Amino acid sequence: MEFTKAQTSLHKARIKILLEFPFFSFLLSYLKDEEYPADMPSMRTLGTDGEKLYYDAAFVETLPLNQLCAILLHEVLHPALGHIWRIGFRNLTLWNIACDYKINAVVKKSAESHNDIVLPSGCLLDKKYDGMCEEEIYELLKKTMKELLIGGGGGGKKKKDDGHPWDSFCQGVSTKKGKKNSLDPEKQKELAGKWKDVLARAAIAAKGAGKLPADFESLIDEVIQPKIPWKQLLSRYVQSAVWDDYRILPPHKNHIHRDIYLPSEHGEFLEIVAAVDTSGSIDDEQLKEFISEMIGICKIISSFKIHYFACDAAMQEEKEITSLDDIPKKFKGRGGTDFRPVFDRIKAKNLMPSILVYFTDGDPNGGIWPDRPPYPVIWLISGNRGLKVPYGEKIDYEGKNGD
């Protein structure tokens, strides 16, 4: 079989990486080279969907070997670090920018002792993002960037979007705030499991040979066993509650009173209950931070409604919240703790929220918990790390900074 010029260049780059970066070579062995097919728009660079390494032959032929090696390291880190499935409902272009800043810093550091491995000029690099995770970089970019222009990821080629092939696995949602995407859940699960396993085995092999790049142990731990701040976890769980446009939750409201739960179609609309425990174990500043965070998460969705409930041993306050101006200045209560009034009130109002998030210390009077409801529940627990909740998801609240 006769290789094309582009295929020959890719083989040479893979051999060089095998000799100098066995860790990355192991990861790359799980991506098969394939020229961009006719039905996939070529970005005139390289890209990956977590299964194949797509390339534009004309672009590859123009690259010197040292830059092609750097770009291959860049591309394989996208699936290895989970970028393909961590996007959630974030803006695709901005997420790609954040991931490229993170990856290019990693590649540059890994190649410091290899002068013949060089990132292309114009790629995204900024020391102010050193030590940050991709989600943190994304939030900073969201606040500061007014014009989305990137340097093409590893390729250094100016364009509006780096257009990774994982776009084809995403479901685009047009909103007033731009295009947001979510990876198909089945593909997400498949790729996440595959690459966590690949990353772990690559690390074991490289560490045994003394070839694991500097600072990669902590980076790998973050992917395989992430210690995620409560704000990121909360955002991830809430966004997953509106993953599909057609699902059983929330069910059709016209049939709830008959205890019949039929699917209902809904667009990108989030209706949630945010309940706060005002028994005294959580201070007002923490409660305000929680409600503010809920609003910030909901704004990722084009439209939302938050039903706010304050409760100690009894219901103290309820209102609908749609902006930061609606956040209570003072929180009523400071009695005992009973979760049941909130659940009873939801049922009495005939609500079927997409999700209920309850901020509490998780210590109800008499240890009595409400019966499990027919909708998802998240317990945001303050100061009670060892607590086991009877159902739903538990997130540990660890202070105002969310660390």
Which string of DSSP letters, residue by residue, matches 203-247? HHHHHHTT-PPTTHHHHHHHHHS----HHHHHHHHHHHTT--SEE
pTM of the model: 0.56
The two structure tokens encoding residue 393: 């998801």
Q: Mean pLDDT for the chain? A: 75
- Encoded amino acid at 366, one letter: G
Name the range with the highest mean pLDDT among 17-21, 69-73, 319-323. 69-73
Phi and psi, residue 355, nearest 5°: -165, 150
User: Residue 300: its pLDDT value, please?
Assistant: 60
CB 266 within 8 A of CB 252: no
Q: How far apart are CA 51 and CA 195, in angstroms?
A: 10
Q: How far apart are CA 209 and CA 78, in angstroms?
A: 24
- Return the SS3 of 397: strand
Residues 311-351 have pLDDT tens digits of 988 999 898 887 666 777 677 767 788 999 999 999 999 99
DSSP H helical segments within 228-363, as ranges? 230-240, 284-298, 340-348
**Other C-beta atoms within 10 Å of 125: how many?**
15
Phi and psi, residue 312, nearest 5°: -110, -100
Could you tell me the domains of the chain? 5-227 (no CATH), 233-397 (3.40.50.410)
Which residue, 148, 150, 153, 134, is CA-closest to 70?
153
